[in-house]
Amino acid sequence: MPNDNHGAQSGDHSLNVGVGDFRGANVNISHTERPTFTPEQLHIQRHPALGGRSLDSNNVSIFGYITGLASLIGLYFALFQPAMGWQSSWTTGFMFSFLVAVMAVVMSAVLRRRKFEHFLGSRHYLEISLSGRLRINRLTAQCPWCGSLMHLRHVGPKEGPRDDLFLCERNPRQHTIQLDPTALPELED
């Protein structure tokens, strides 16, 4: 029996520390244990998209409320007041603009709390600055293992939870770092 355990297993049924050898035993070293790095160690950099343009989050909310209200009024006339001559094909348009309005309101509310949210595609992030302005940024870092460039990506299964990971350009499978957005320096104007 190659996997025989030769250690003493007796004890008083309290906490027993087995003294013995573990020849043939499988020792699992967890590969998920990762060292943590500070944003300074990673040389995290923000790269503004849209030429650094920003929006006041209050204006986004106001835009959302006004558009939402207008869409609802339009929807009401298109659906229930056919005598007014509003074509029913407009219904789809009003429903769409209502959706956009709700998204604008929800997004600015969520961002005020989280300050950081994945936005478009797999590498653009919506951030809110100290004075409440919305910006779209890409984030890069320097790989602490090999020094290559890393890109922040929103990755994961289609239906499952997704992570925001810095992926190394040279070894994107093993050199990954999970971002804690609260560790990022505040976004100045």
Residues in contact with Zn ion by CB under 5 A are: 143, 145-146, 148, 168, 170-171, 175
**Judged by CB, which is closer to Zn ion: 76, or 145?**
145
Cβ count within 10 A of residue 22 = 12
Q: What's the min distance (Å) between Cβ of 116 and Zn ion?
A: 24
Query: Which CB atom, from 162 or from 175, has the smaller least distance to Zn ion?
Result: 175
**10 Å Cβ neighbour count for 4?**
9
Cβ distance to Zn ion smaller for residue 42 or 136:
42
CB of 147 to Zn ion, least distance (A): 7
Residue whose CB is less far from Zn ion, 41 or 92: 41
**Placement of tokens 């204006």 in the chain:** 59
Determine the 3-state secondary structure of 79 from DSSP.
helix
CB of 121 to Zn ion, least distance (A): 23
Pairwise CA distance, residues 185 & 39, whole Å? 8
If you count them, how many residues does the chain have? 189
Task: Tell me whether residue 70 or residue 149 sits nearer to Zn ion (CB atom).
Answer: 149
**Among 144, 149, 143, 139, which Cα is nearest to 116's?**
139
Question: By the 8 A CB rule, do 162 and 154 touch?
Answer: yes
Minimum CB separation of residue 166 from Zn ion in Å reads: 10
